[in-house]
């Protein structure tokens, strides 16, 4: 027990070095609002131990000379379905093209308009959307808040009472709007989960449940499959470099019960040396009958020692 604690303390210390301010950190508040993005394909192979229905189709290092580019903790498919929008710990977003493509492409990088009800930093950790209307919902760490952002630019904030006791730096890390209009929100720490019957801004009391992933894995994002189930992305700290291990689990919202554990099934782990990074964002796009493309983005903590990686997985979920 003591050895495990010492090992974890060593990993935490290494992570602190990675994200410490100073020469390790990219920081330029006057960075250009847009720049060219380069996608460098990585030479990686299918990780061992993955099920036959899950395939690694591609991995890219996303490079951009804009110092404000990076730190992405949430990912969604854009309204047109041709690219992505990634949201960062600093309240910025980037419109990214969907690989593969040759050469470079422009990635619009800008600040999400600040909400005066929230103090800085406005750390965005989760995002979900209604594809029919273009409305999006953002989950803010440090505030335990959810913000609804309409296509016309108006927004509203709610800080649900059910989230008031969540740790300020481990709040609504994962959030998904289900196709039936319900919302699931998971705290990063503590195992707390909420199921809202509809839009959280309607101030309805949510159903409370819990999760218990293996080891010390913590949820970092969540997205819904076309068959109604959800994939949940988890991360743990490990004695490696970069010091992260990731895992994808499958769960069925129909199995959520008040006050009970939500059953989770492990799908795959992402801890191979060439793929290891701090994955915090996930988006799903249907890919033919019974299959979906699962996209993951890594939060580089704006550190020169980490990478913004983008992974493409194909999941043939149908029996």
Residue ranges covered by each domain of the chain: 2-315
272 conformational bin, left if phi > 0, alpha if psi -120 to 50, beta if neither: beta
Two tokens, residue 234: 């988890």
Give the dihedral of Cα atoms 124, 264, 313, 269; nearest 10 deg.
90
Which of 234, 253, 254, 250 shows the shortest CA–CA distance to 296? 234
Q: Quick check: 146 and 204 in contact, CB under 8 A?
A: no
- State pLDDT tens for residues 50-83: 999 999 999 999 988 887 789 999 999 998 888 9
Instruction: Check residue 102 and give its pLDDT.
Output: 67
Two tokens, residue 6: 């010492």
The CATH label, of 3.30.70, 2.40.390, 2.120.10, 2.60.40, for the domain at 2-315 is 2.120.10
Chain Cα centroid distance, residue 24: 23
- State pLDDT tens for residues 84-119: 999 999 899 999 989 887 668 888 888 998 888 888
The Cα–Cα gap between 96 and 111 comes to 15
Listing DSSP states for 261-316 in one string gives BPP-EEEEEE--TTT-S-EEEEEEEE-STT-EEEEEEE--TTBTTS--EEEEEEE-
Chain Cα centroid distance, residue 124: 10
Across the chain, which has 319 residues, the per-10-residue mean pLDDT values are: 43 47 42 71 93 96 85 93 91 90 79 85 93 95 94 93 92 96 97 98 96 96 98 94 94 98 98 93 94 97 91 92
- State pLDDT tens for residues 218-241: 999 999 999 999 999 999 999 888
């Amino acid at each position: 027990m003591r050895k495990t604690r010492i090992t974890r303390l060593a990993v935490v210390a290494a992570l602190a070095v990675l994200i410490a301010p100073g020469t390790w950190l990219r920081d330029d508040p006057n960075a250009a609002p847009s720049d060219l993005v380069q996608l460098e394909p990585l030479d990686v192979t299918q990780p061992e131990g993955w099920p036959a229905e899950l395939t690694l189709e591609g991995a890219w290092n996303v490079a951009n000379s804009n110092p404000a580019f990076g730190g992405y903790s949430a990912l969604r498919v854009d309204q047109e379905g041709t690219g992505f929008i990634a949201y960062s710990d600093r309240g910025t977003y980037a419109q990214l093209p969907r690989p593969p493509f040759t050469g470079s492409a422009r990635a619009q990088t800008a600040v999400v308009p600040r909400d005066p009800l929230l103090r800085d930093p406005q750390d965005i950790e989760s995002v979900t959307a209604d594809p029919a209307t273009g409305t999006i919902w953002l989950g803010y760490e440090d505030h335990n808040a959810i913000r609804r952002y309409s296509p016309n630019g108006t927004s509203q904030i709610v800080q649900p009472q059910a989230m008031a006791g969540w740790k300020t730096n481990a709040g609504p890390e994962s959030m998904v709007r289900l196709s039936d209009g319900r919302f699931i929100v998971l705290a990063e720490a503590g195992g707390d989960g909420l199921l809202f019957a509809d839009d959280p801004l309607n101030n309805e009391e949510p159903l409370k449940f819990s999760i218990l992933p293996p080891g010390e894995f913590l949820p970092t994002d969540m997205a819904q499959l076309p068959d109604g189930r959800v994939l949940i992305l988890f991360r743990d700290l490990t004695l490696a470099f970069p010091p992260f291990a990731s895992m994808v689990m499958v769960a069925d919202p129909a199995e959520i019960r008040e006050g009970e554990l939500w059953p989770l099934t492990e799908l795959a782990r992402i801890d191979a040396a060439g793929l290891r990074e701090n994955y915090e964002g996930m988006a799903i796009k249907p890919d033919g009958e019974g299959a979906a493309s699962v996209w993951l983005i890594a939060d580089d903590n704006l550190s020169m020692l980490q990478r913004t990686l983008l992974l493409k997985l194909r999941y043939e979920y149908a029996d």
